[in-house]
Chains A and B, each alone.
Chain A
Amino acid sequence: MFGEYDYPFRLESGQVRIRIEEDGGFFTYHRSSDGDDVHKIIGGKRGKIVINPVEPVNLPEEVTKYLEIRFTPMAIEPDSVQEVYLKFPIEIGVFLKGKGEGDLLDIFGLTRAKYSLYGTPDEGIITRYYESAVYERIPESDPLREGVLSLTVRNSSRGWVEVSRVVIDCSSLYLYYKDMVSLAAQMDIFSREIADVWIDDRPLGEEMTPVSLFSRARKTIIPDKIPFTMEYGAGE
Chain B
Amino acid sequence: MIPLDTPIYGTVTLGDLILFVIAVIVSVIIAKIVAIYLKRALSDRIDRGELDKLIKVIQVVIIFFGIWFALPSFDLDVGQLLVIGGTAGLIIAFASQKIVSNLGSGIFLLIERPVKIGDTIRIGNISGTVYQIRVLSTILKTNEGIYVRVPNEQVFTSDITNYVASPARRFEYRIMVGHRENVEAVNSAILALISDHPFVLKNPPPSVYMAGLSESGIEIVIRMWIPSMVWDSLQTEMPWKIKQLLDRMGVEIPVPQRVIRYAEVQPPEKRQD
User: Is there a chain A Cβ closer than 8 Å to B230's Cβ?
Assistant: yes
List of A residues within 8 angstroms of B204 by Cβ: 117, 121
User: Is there a chain A Cβ closer than 8 Å to B199's Cβ?
Assistant: yes
| Contact mask for chain A residues 97-140; partner B; CB cutoff 8 A; 1 contact, 0 none | 00000000000000011111110011111100100000000000
User: Is there a chain A Cβ closer than 8 Å to B225's Cβ?
Assistant: yes
Assess the B199–A116 pair: CB atoms within 8 A: no
User: Is there a chain A Cβ closer than 8 Å to B184's Cβ?
Assistant: no
**A122 to B204, alpha carbons, bound, how many Å?**
12
Among A59, A113, A115, A123, find the residue whose CB has the most chain B CB atoms closer than 10 A: A115
Assess the A121–B202 pair: CB atoms within 8 A: no
Q: How distant is B197 from chain A, measured CB to nearest CB, in Å?
A: 9
- Can you name the residue of chain A whose Cβ is closest to the Cβ of B204? A117
Please judge, given known A-B contacts A114-B202, A219-B44, whether A121 and B225 are in contact too, CB under 8 Å: yes
Please judge, given known A-B contacts A63-B199, A63-B227, A112-B198, whether A117 and B167 are in contact too, CB under 8 Å: yes
List of B residues within 8 angstroms of A129 by Cβ: 202-203
User: Is there a chain A Cβ closer than 8 Å to B258's Cβ?
Assistant: no
Residues of chain B in range 144-182 having any CB-CB distance to chain A below 8 Å:
165-170
Assess the B198–A113 pair: CB atoms within 8 A: yes
Assess the A115–B45 pair: CB atoms within 8 A: no
User: Is there a chain B Cβ closer than 8 Å to A221's Cβ?
Assistant: yes
User: Is there a chain B Cβ closer than 8 Å to A47's Cβ?
Assistant: no
Please judge, given known A-B contacts A121-B166, A126-B168, A221-B45, whether A116 and B201 are in contact too, CB under 8 Å: yes
Please judge, given known A-B contacts A63-B230, A126-B227, A219-B45, whether A115 and B166 are in contact too, CB under 8 Å: no
Chain A contributes a number of interface residues (CB within 8 A of B) equal to 22
User: Is there a chain B Cβ closer than 8 Å to A61's Cβ?
Assistant: yes
Assess the B230–A61 pair: CB atoms within 8 A: yes
**A122 to B170, alpha carbons, bound, how many Å?**
11
Residues of chain A in range 57-83 having any CB-CB distance to chain B below 8 Å:
59-61, 63-64
Assess the A115–B199 pair: CB atoms within 8 A: yes
List of A residues within 8 angstroms of B42 by Cβ: 221
Residues of chain A in range 14-69 having any CB-CB distance to chain B below 8 Å:
59-61, 63-64
List of B residues within 8 angstroms of A118 by Cβ: 203
Residues of chain B in range 25-43 having any CB-CB distance to chain A below 8 Å:
42
User: Is there a chain B Cβ closer than 8 Å to A220's Cβ?
Assistant: yes
- Size bin of chain B's contact surface: 20 to 34
- Can you name the residue of chain A whose Cβ is closest to the Cβ of B196? A112
Assess the A114–B167 pair: CB atoms within 8 A: no
- Can you name the residue of chain A whose Cβ is closest to the Cβ of B229? A63
Assess the B168–A121 pair: CB atoms within 8 A: yes
Residues of chain A in range 210-234 having any CB-CB distance to chain B below 8 Å:
219-221
Assess the A115–B167 pair: CB atoms within 8 A: no
Q: How distant is A48 from chain B, measured CB to nearest CB, in Å?
A: 20
List of A residues within 8 angstroms of B198 by Cβ: 59-60, 112-115
Among B165, B167, B201, B204, find the residue whose CB has the most chain A CB atoms closer than 10 A: B167
Assess the B167–A126 pair: CB atoms within 8 A: yes
Q: How distant is A63 from chain B, measured CB to nearest CB, in Å?
A: 5
Assess the B168–A220 pair: CB atoms within 8 A: no
- Can you name the residue of chain A whose Cβ is closest to the Cβ of B169? A121
Assess the B44–A115 pair: CB atoms within 8 A: no
Assess the A117–B44 pair: CB atoms within 8 A: no
Q: How distant is A84 from chain B, measured CB to nearest CB, in Å?
A: 22
Q: How distant is B39 from chain A, measured CB to nearest CB, in Å?
A: 14
List of A residues within 8 angstroms of B166 by Cβ: 121-123
List of B residues within 8 angstroms of A115 by Cβ: 198-199, 201-202, 227
**A118 to B88, alpha carbons, bound, how many Å?**
53
**A60 to B234, alpha carbons, bound, how many Å?**
13
Assess the B167–A121 pair: CB atoms within 8 A: yes
**A13 to B126, alpha carbons, bound, how many Å?**
53
List of A residues within 8 angstroms of B203 by Cβ: 116-118, 129
- Can you name the residue of chain B whose Cβ is closest to the Cβ of A122? B166
List of B residues within 8 angstroms of A60 by Cβ: 198-199
Residue in B45, B165, B168, B230 whose beta carbon sits within 8 Å of that of A117 in the complex:
B168
14 A-B pairs, CB-CB below 8 angstroms? A114-B198, A114-B202, A115-B198, A115-B201, A116-B202, A117-B225, A118-B203, A121-B167, A121-B169, A121-B225, A122-B166, A124-B167, A126-B229, A220-B45
The 3 closest A-B pairs by CB, nearest first: A116-B202, A113-B198, A219-B45
Other 5 A-B pairs with CB < 8 A, given A59-B198, A121-B169:
A61-B230, A113-B198, A117-B201, A121-B167, A124-B168
